[in-house]
């Protein structure tokens, strides 16, 4: 799993930071990419990456503010031009479907693929054999959601020597055993997957929060998460303004990660008021509360490998 930040600014684009978008690359896990928010010019940001728009098959929107959705119509249209034919599912708050459909209709935009909409409410919004995605409302000035992606436990390692000892021939049967199927050999004997694999491996948990002030649902969504991505529009000196505008500070984000017993915190949605030189003390302030904190910049990439977060 890799994370690629496509836009890390707050409210409007600046020269250094575009509006919100984050690609969660699950290419190794399931061959697809999930996009979280799609601020204006997200498709331009994608041009600077190796991401193929047709590989994006799910878009999760946190809320309907322009800095989180104004890139959708352009992206949807280009995905079509670039040969996207597979179903795209868009998850988001009430009103999103109407806005997208009206925009595409009025601009006479026809796409070559089907779009499914899922109106998000608190609870499980997606589940398959590999992942479960939950949503909870946050506290912003309009309805806004945070998402928690949990990867289900993975099959253990195949104990090849043991399988061969039990008479399993080299070839596809070994692969079946590895992913959990029991098999029957030519002589009629049955080999159970659990006999020839090690214990299940724990999957990862990533919490991606939309705009919010410090709130208890953020902590619930972040509970024991491996990675928490939290907005930090303000810093500690402007903590009262933050709450007033429905946003959080660097230290409040750190407090969420700390109270949730998370492993890593990545700050994003950074205001253009902060100059590059301000970001060193900005980060330090958060790290005093929660040491494993990073600040995302546009195009920063992280990889989750061997239970650790690596910046690429
Ligand atoms: Zn925002
Ligand atoms: Zn907002």
Least distant ligand from the CA of 9 = 1
Domain match, 233 and 284 both: yes
CATH number of the domain within which 34 lies? 3.60.15.10
pLDDT per residue as tens digits for the range 71-89: 999 999 999 999 889 999 9
Residue 84: per-residue pLDDT: 83
Domain match, 180 and 290 both: no
- Report how far apart, in Å, the C-alpha atoms of 192 and of each of 154, 164, 166, 188, 189 are: 17, 13, 10, 13, 10
How far is the centre of ligand 2, averaged over its atoms, from the C-alpha of 45 (Å)?
20
For residue 9, count other CB atoms closer than 10 A to its CB: 22
State yes or no: pLDDT of 155 exceeds 90. no
**Alpha helix segments (H runs only) across 95-208:** 96-106, 160-165, 172-178
Domain match, 65 and 186 both: no
pLDDT, mean of residues 25-44: 97
For residue 266, count other CB atoms closer than 10 A to its CB: 26
- Report the SS3 class of residue 166: coil
Residue 86: per-residue pLDDT: 93
pLDDT, mean of residues 153-181: 90
Largest CA distance in the chain: 74
Return the exposure string of 255-265: e unless at least 16 CB atoms fall within 10 Å of the residue's CB, then b: bbbbbbebbbb
Task: Return the DSSP state at 202.
Answer: P
Residue 137: per-residue pLDDT: 98
Domain extent, residue 80, equals 2-154+201-311
Least distant ligand from the CA of 140 = 2
Which residue would you say has higher pLDDT here, 210 or 178?
Answer: 210
How far is the centre of ligand 1, averaged over its atoms, from the C-alpha of 249 (Å)?
13
Domain match, 184 and 230 both: no
Known binding-site residue numbers for Zn(2+): 63, 65, 67-68, 140, 211, 269
Residue 200: per-residue pLDDT: 85
Domain match, 219 and 170 both: no
Q: Which of 37, 57, 67, 235 is catalytic?
A: 67
The helix (H) or strand (E) run that includes residue 19 is none
Domain match, 146 and 164 both: no
Structural domains of the chain, count: 2
> Is position 67 annotated as part of the catalytic site?
yes
pLDDT, mean of residues 225-235: 97
Query: Is the Cα torsion angle 311, 266, 308, 47 positive or negative in sign?
Result: negative
Contacts 24+ apart (CB under 8 A), 273-277: 274/235, 276/16
How far is the centre of ligand 1, averaged over its atoms, from the C-alpha of 138 (Å)?
13
The top-scoring range by mean pLDDT among 162-176, 179-193, 215-229 is 215-229
Residue 71: per-residue pLDDT: 98
Among candidate residues 145, 172, 195, the one where a domain is terminated: 195
Report yes or no: 45 and 7 within 8 Å, Cβ to Cβ. yes
pLDDT per residue as tens digits for the range 91-134: 999 999 999 999 999 999 999 999 999 999 999 999 999 999 99
Domain match, 283 and 167 both: no
How far is the centre of ligand 1, averaged over its atoms, from the C-alpha of 22 (Å)?
13
Report yes or no: 273 and 235 within 8 Å, Cβ to Cβ. no
Q: How many residues does the chain have?
A: 312
Domain match, 179 and 268 both: no
Domain match, 95 and 172 both: no
Domain match, 170 and 220 both: no
State yes or no: pLDDT of 293 exceeds 90. yes
Task: Tell me the backbone φ, ψ of residue 30, rounded to 5 degrees.
Answer: -145, 10
Least distant ligand from the CA of 245 = 2
Taking alpha carbons only, the member of 215, 230, 240 closest to residue 290 is 230
Report yes or no: 246 and 211 within 8 Å, Cβ to Cβ. yes
How far is the centre of ligand 2, averaged over its atoms, from the C-alpha of 11 (Å)?
7
For residue 179, what pLDDT band results from cuts at 50, 70 and 90? confident
Query: Is the Cα torsion angle 300, 301, 307, 308 positive or negative in sign?
Result: negative
pLDDT per residue as tens digits for the range 186-211: 999 999 998 999 888 899 999 999 99
Domain match, 243 and 285 both: yes
Domain match, 72 and 111 both: yes
């Amino acid at each position: 799993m890799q994370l690629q930040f496509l836009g890390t600014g707050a409210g409007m684009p600046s020269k250094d930071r575009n509006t919100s978008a984050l690609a969660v690359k699950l290419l190794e896990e399931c061959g697809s990419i999930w996009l979280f928010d799609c601020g204006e010019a997200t498709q331009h940001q994608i041009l600077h990456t190796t991401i193929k728009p047709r590989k994006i098959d799910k878009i999760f929107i946190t809320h309907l503010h322009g800095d989180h959705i104004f890139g959708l119509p352009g992206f949807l249209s280009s995905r079509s031009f670039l040969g996207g034919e597979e179903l795209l599912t868009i998850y988001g708050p009430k009103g999103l479907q109407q806005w997208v459909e009206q925009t595409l209709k009025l601009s006479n935009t026809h796409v070559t693929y089907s779009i499914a909409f899922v109106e998000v409410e608190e609870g499980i919004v997606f589940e398959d054999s590999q992942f479960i995605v939950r949503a909870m409302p946050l506290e912003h000035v309009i309805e806004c959601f945070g998402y928690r992606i949990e990867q289900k436990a993975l099959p253990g390692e195949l104990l090849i020597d043991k399988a061969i000892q039990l008479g399993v021939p080299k070839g596809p049967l070994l692969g079946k055993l590895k992913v959990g199927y029991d098999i029957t050999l030519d002589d009629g004997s049955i080999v159970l997957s659990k006999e020839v694999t090690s214990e299940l491996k724990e999957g990862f948990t990533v919490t991606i929060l939309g705009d919010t002030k410090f709130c208890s649902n953020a902590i619930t969504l972040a509970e024991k998460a491996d990675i928490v991505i939290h907005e930090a529009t303000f810093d500690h000196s402007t903590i009262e303004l933050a709450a007033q505008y429905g946003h959080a500070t660097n230290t409040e984000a750190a407090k969420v990660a700390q109270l949730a017993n998370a492993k890593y915190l990545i700050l994003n949605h950074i205001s253009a008021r902060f100059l590059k030189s301000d970001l060193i003390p900005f980060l330090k302030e958060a790290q005093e509360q929660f040491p494993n904190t990073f600040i995302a910049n546009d195009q920063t990439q992280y990889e989750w490998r061997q239970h650790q977060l690596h910046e690429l």
